[in-house]
C-alpha cells in the first residue's frame, strides 16, 4: 500500500509561492490563460484522486462537493496558480494543517533529484541545529536536529553523527540525559530515529495506525524499520550503551513539529523518562509523498501516530511538566538540569 513508503515532513507554510503552471504570476493573456485553466484542472484532478485514495480521513469527507468547490475556484482564478490556491483552500476547509503541495524545485532538492534540477547538495543547509555537551559529571545534553532531506548519504551521515555524539557522552560516563527537540521543526524522521536509537531501550518505539492496520516503527542495531521495510541505517553496526540511562528528560516547545514530534513520541512511555517544556506544534500525523505531473510533490497525511504502548496522539503533545521560559533565560534547560541533579543524588545513595 502507498502509505508504507511514507516519511515525515514538516509543514511548510501553505502560502509560500508555488512553482508556476505557466510563465507568469499575473493575469495572463486569454490564450495562455485557457492553457493555465486546463493545466490547473488536470493538477487538481490528480491531487483529488490521490486524496480520495490515501487521505487518512477519506471516509469522512464529502468529496464531490469539495472537488466541485475547488474546480469553481480554479475557473474563477485570474492567475496560473489557481490549482495551488484551490488545494490549499481545501486543506484549510478540512482543518488539515499537515498536508500541502511542495514546489517542484524544493521537492527536487529534498529528494536530491538531479534529473530535474542541477544543484550541489550542501548537507548543512538541510540539517538544523545539532550539538552534544557534557553539562557536568554523569549529565549529558543532546540536541536533535531537523533534517530536510531524503538523500541517502545525508541520512546516513546524520545517523552516524547522532550516534557518535551519544557514544561520546556515554563513554564520558553519562547516565542522565537531556534530549532537546525545541528547535526540531521536522523533516525526515528516519535519520532522527536511527540516530537516537541507542537511547530508545526497546525495539518498537512508535506505531503508524490507519483503521485496523498498525505498523510498528522498529529500531534495531543501527537500522530503523517501518514494519519489515528498512528506512535508514548507520554505516556501521549501531552503538550499544555502556551505561544504562537512569533518567531521560525530553525538552519540547512550540517549534517541535512533525518529525520532531514523532521523536518525542518515541520516548513517551519509556521508564524513567519525562517530557518538559511547552506543548508541541500539533502536526502529529504521518505523511506520504506523491510526485505530481508537474514535478511538484503532494505531501499528504495518511495515518495517525501512536506511542510504544499504542496510545494514539492527536494534536499537540503536552509535556509532563509545563515550563514557561523567562526572557533571556533557558528556563526549561535549567529546570531539567536541576531535576537531574536531584535524581543523581538519590541514585548515589
| pLDDT(281) > 70 | yes
In the chain, where are the structural domains located? 17-102, 123-290+307-347
CA–CA separation, 45 and 215 (whole Å): 30
pLDDT tens column, 216-275: 999 999 999 999 999 999 999 999 999 999 999 999 999 999 999 999 999 999 999 999
Side-chain half-sphere CA neighbours of 302 within 13 A = 24
Confidence at residue 118, expressed as pLDDT on a 0 to 100 scale: 45
| Total residues belonging to the chain | 349
Q: Give the DSSP per-residue string, 107-140.
A: HHHHHT-TTT------GGGGB---EEEEEETTEE
The model's confidence at residue 123, banded by pLDDT at 50, 70 and 90, is low
Confidence at residue 112, expressed as pLDDT on a 0 to 100 scale: 67
| pLDDT(28) > 80 | no
Average pLDDT, the chain: 86
- Burial of 276 (C-beta count, 10 Å sphere; 0-12/13-18/19+): buried
Confidence at residue 163, expressed as pLDDT on a 0 to 100 scale: 97
- Burial of 101 (C-beta count, 10 Å sphere; 0-12/13-18/19+): buried
| pLDDT(157) > 80 | yes
Of 67-81, 180-194, 206-220, the range with the lowest mean pLDDT is 67-81
| pLDDT(306) > 70 | yes
Confidence at residue 113, expressed as pLDDT on a 0 to 100 scale: 64
What's 123-290+307-347's CATH class?
alpha beta
The model's confidence at residue 115, banded by pLDDT at 50, 70 and 90, is low
| pLDDT(332) > 60 | yes
Instruction: Determine the 3-state secondary structure of 89 from DSSP.
Output: helix
pTM given for the model: 0.84
Per-residue CA distances from 326 to 161, 277, 284, 320, 331 (Å): 32, 12, 27, 19, 6
Confidence at residue 174, expressed as pLDDT on a 0 to 100 scale: 98
pLDDT tens column, 44-69: 999 999 999 999 999 999 999 999 99
- Burial of 106 (C-beta count, 10 Å sphere; 0-12/13-18/19+): middle
| pLDDT(128) > 90 | no
Confidence at residue 116, expressed as pLDDT on a 0 to 100 scale: 46
Asked if residues 28 and 39 have their Cβ atoms less than 8 Å apart, the reply is no
Confidence at residue 33, expressed as pLDDT on a 0 to 100 scale: 66
Scanning the structure block, which residue is given the C-alpha cell 541514585? 347
CA–CA separation, 299 and 12 (whole Å): 10
Amino acid at each position: 500500500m502507498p502509505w508504507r513508503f511514507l516519511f515525515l515532513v514538516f509543514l511548510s507554510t501553505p502560502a509560500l509561492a508555488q512553482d508556476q503552471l505557466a510563465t507568469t504570476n499575473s493575469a495572463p493573456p486569454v490564450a495562455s490563460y485557457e492553457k493555465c485553466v486546463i493545466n490547473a484542472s488536470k493538477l487538481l484532478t490528480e491531487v483529488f484522486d490521490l486524496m480520495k485514495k490515501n487521505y487518512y480521513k477519506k471516509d469522512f469527507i464529502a468529496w464531490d462537493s469539495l472537488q466541485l468547490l475547488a474546480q469553481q475556484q480554479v475557473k474563477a482564478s485570474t492567475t496560473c496558480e489557481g490549482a495551488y490556491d484551490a488545494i490549499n483552500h481545501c486543506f484549510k476547509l478540512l482543518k488539515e494543517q499537515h498536508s500541502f503541495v511542495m514546489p517542484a524545485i524544493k521537492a527536487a532538492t529534498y529528494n536530491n533529484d538531479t534529473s530535474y534540477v542541477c544543484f550541489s547538495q550542501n548537507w548543512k543547509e538541510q540539517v538544523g541545529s545539532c550539538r552534544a555537551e557534557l553539562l557536568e559529571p554523569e549529565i549529558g545534553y543532546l540536541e536533535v536536529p531537523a533534517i530536510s532531506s531524503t538523500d541517502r548519504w545525508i541520512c546516513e551521515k546524520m545517523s552516524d553523527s547522532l550516534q557518535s555524539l551519544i557514544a561520546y557522552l556515554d563513554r564520558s560516563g553519562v547516565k542522565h540525559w537531556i534530549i532537546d527537540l525545541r528547535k526540531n521543526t521536522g523533516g525526515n524522521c528516519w535519520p532522527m530515529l536511527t540516530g537516537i536509537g541507542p537511547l530508545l531501550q526497546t525495539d518498537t518505539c512508535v506505531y503508524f495506525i490507519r483503521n485496523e492496520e498498525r505498523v510498528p516503527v522498529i529500531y534495531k542495531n543501527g537500522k530503523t524499520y517501518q514494519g519489515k521495510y528498512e528506512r535508514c541505517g548507520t554505516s556501521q553496526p549501531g552503538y550499544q550503551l555502556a551505561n544504562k540511562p537512569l533518567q531521560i528528560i525530553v525538552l519540547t516547545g512550540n517549534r517541535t513539529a512533525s518529525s520532531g514530534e514523532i521523536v518525542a513520541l518515541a520516548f513517551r512511555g519509556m521508564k524513567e523518562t519525562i517530557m518538559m517544556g511547552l506543548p508541541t506544534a500539533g502536526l502529529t500525523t504521518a505523511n506520504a509523498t506523491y510526485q505530481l505531473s508537474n514535478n511538484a510533490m503532494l505531501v499528504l497525511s495518511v495515518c495517525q501516530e501512536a506511542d510504544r504502548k499504542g496510545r494514539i496522539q492527536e494534536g499537540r503533545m503536552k509535556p509532563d511538566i509545563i515550563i514557561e521560559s523567562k526572557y533571556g533565560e533557558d528556563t526549561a534547560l535549567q529546570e531539567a538540569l536541576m531535576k537531574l541533579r536531584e535524581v543523581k543524588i538519590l541514585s548515589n545513595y
